[in-house]
Structure 1
Amino acid sequence: MKLLRVGEPGAERPAIVDSDGKYRDLSSVVADIDGAALSSEILANIAGTDISALPEIASDSRIGACVNGVGKFICIGLNYVDHCEETGAAVPEEPVVFMKATSAITGPNDGVIKPKGSEKLDWEVEMGIVIGRDARYVSEEDAMDYVAGFCVVHDVSERNFQLERGGQWDKGKGCDTFGPIGPFLVTRDEVKNPLDLNIWLNVNGKEFQNSSTKNMVFGPAKLVSYLSQFMSLQAGDIISTGTPPGVGLGQKPPVYLNEGDEVHLGIEGLGEQRQKVLPCPY
Structure 2
Amino acid sequence: MIQGSMVALVTPMMETGALDTASLRKLVEFHLEQGTDAIVAVGTTGESATLDEGEHCEVIRLVVEQVRGRVPVIAGTGANATSEAINLTRKAKEAGADACLLVTPYYNKPTQEGLYLHYKAVAEAVAIPQILYNVPGRTACDLLPETAARLSEVPNIIGIKEATGNLDRLAEILKLAKPGFLLYSGDDATACEFCLRGGKGVISVTANVAPKLMHEMCSAAIAGERSAAEAIDAKLQGLHKELFIESNPIPAKWAVQQMGLIARGIRLPLTWLTPGCEARVRAAMQQAGAL
* TM-score bin, normalised by smaller chain: under 0.3
| TM-score normalised according to structure 2 size | 0.25
- TM-score, normalised with respect to structure 1: 0.25
Higher helix proportion (structure 1 or 2): 2
Pick the structure with more strand per residue. Answer: 1
